[in-house]
Amino acid sequence: MTRSALLVGATGLVGGQLLARLLREPLYDRVTVLARRPPAVEHPRLETRVVDFDGLGPDDVPVVDDVYGALGSTIRKAGSQEAFRRIDQHYTVTVARLAHDAGARRLAVVSSMGAAAASHAFYLRVKGDMEEQVGALGYEQVEIFRPSFILGPRAERRTAERAGMAAATLLAPALVGPARPYRPVHAGQLAAAMIAALRETRPGTAVRTYDDFVRLTAAPE
C-alpha cells in the first residue's frame, strides 16, 4: 500500500535531497511540499503549496501519512535568536501539529548532535525544545535525526561552517568510541536514512545518530 508524504524545508540542503528521493521512492504516490517559494522541481506526484509559515493554518496542510521536517537556519541568516527559534522550532512544531491533527502518523525530523532543552548553548537548546514538543504531539512513530556536520553543496556561503566541515572530514577516521556520532554525514545519506527509518514503521520515538545513518542506508546483503 502506498503512502503520502509532507515535506518542509525542501529548498535547503537536506530538504532538497529528501525531495529528490521522495519523488523516486515507490512507497509514496503523493509528495506535498510546504514552502515560501516553490522548489525548482516538477513531477506528476509533487504538489507544492506556497504558504506563509507565520499564518499557517489547517487549510494549508493536507491529509498525509508521513511528515518530513528539514527546516533549518542559522542565527546569522535568520537575523536574530528570536527569528532563528521561530524557524527551527516554532515552524517545525506547527507543521507537525497541524499534520498530526489532519491524520499523519509518522514523523522524521532533522535536529542536531547535542540537542537538549537544558543546554547552555542557545542553538542546541532550541533544537532540544523542538524535539520535546514534536515528541509530545502523539505521533505513532517519531524519528529524530541528530547529525553533526552535514556535507553537501550549499546555496549560501558559510565560511566558518565550511572550515569546520573540512576539518571534520579529515578527522573522521579518528572519531571513534564516544566521538563516533560526531562524524560528518552527507546530506544525501541523511535524507536516505530518514526515508528508510519511516519505511521500517516502528512505534515510539527514536533518536538517530551516525551509526544509525550508516545502518539505515546500508545495501541489503
pLDDT of residue 47: 97
pLDDT of residue 46: 97
Closest Cα to residue 53, out of 81, 22, 90? 90
Q: Residues 131, 73, 136, CA angle at the centre, nearest 5°?
A: 15
Helix (H) or strand (E) holding 92: helix 92-101
36: helix, coil or strand?
A: coil
- Is 118 within 8 Å of 81 (Cβ atoms)? no
- Is 107 within 8 Å of 65 (Cβ atoms)? no
106: helix, coil or strand?
A: strand
DSSP secondary-structure letter at 80?
A: S
pLDDT of residue 39: 86
Mean pLDDT per segment of 10 residues, for the chain of length 221 residues? 95 95 96 93 95 96 98 88 95 98 98 96 97 98 96 66 57 64 92 96 95 87 37
3-state helix, strand, coil in the chain (%, to 5): 45, 20, 35
- What residue has cell string 520515538? 205
CATH code reported for the domain at 3-155+185-215: 3.40.50.720
Closest Cα to residue 74, out of 65, 64, 66, 84? 84
Domain residue limits, the chain: 3-155+185-215
pLDDT of residue 182: 84
Task: Identify residue 207 by its one-letter amino acid code.
Answer: V
pLDDT of residue 61: 97
- What residue has cell string 543546554? 119
Measure CA of the first residue to CA of the last residue in the chain; give whole Å: 25
Q: Please give the distance of CA 206 from its chain centroid, rounded to a whole number.
A: 14
